[in-house]
Structure 1
């Protein structure tokens, strides 16, 4: 199964939401469609960033990419209920390297 990764910048919390609600929302949303292999919070350029790695069912290459992009957008929508987001990047694992979709 193809492996994908999302990177989502978090620029702030919405009132009344604890920090842990951000990752919980991301994992829950992505987990409804795919197996989430890993998740972590990093600081990139001084800005928090969620990194989630997930698997997409194998079909055609373009269809897999499309499904990953749709799922990342749904994940972002879920996170935006609890936090203010920035840039979203979706990457695909190809020959041992992560490449933008």
Structure 2
């Protein structure tokens, strides 16, 4: 099964939402579609970002990439309910490297 990463910048919390709700919203949204293998919260150049690694059911490369993008957008929408966000990136693992989809 192909491995993908969704990386989403977090620029702020919406009122009434604790910080841990951000990762939970992201994970719930992706886990409803795919197996989530790992999650992390990092600060890159002063901007927090969540990263979720997930597997997509095998198909053609284009279909796999489309599924990954669609799922990452669903994750983005779920996180937007609890936080404000910045850039969303979707990456695919190929020959030991993470490449943009």
TM-score range, shorter chain: over 0.9
Gaps of 5+ in 2: none
In the alignment, which residue of structure 2 is the partner of 1:9? 9
Residue 37 of structure 1, CA deviation: 0.2
Deviation at 1:62, TM superposition (A): 0.3
Looking at structure 2, the residues matched to 31 and 47 of structure 1 have their Cα atoms a distance apart, in angstroms, of 25
Question: How many residues get paired?
Answer: 101
The answer for unaligned runs of 5 or more in structure 1 is none
Cα distance in 1 between the residues matched to 2:7 and 2:59: 23
Task: Provide the TM-score with structure 1 as the length reference.
Answer: 0.99
- Deviation of residue 95 (structure 1)? 0.5
Superposed CA RMSD in Å reads 0.3
Q: String of CA shifts for 1:40-83, please: whole Å, max 9, x gaps.
A: 10001100000000000001110000000000000000000000
Deviant stretches of 4+, over 6 Å: none
Query: TM-score if structure 2 supplies the norm length?
Result: 0.99
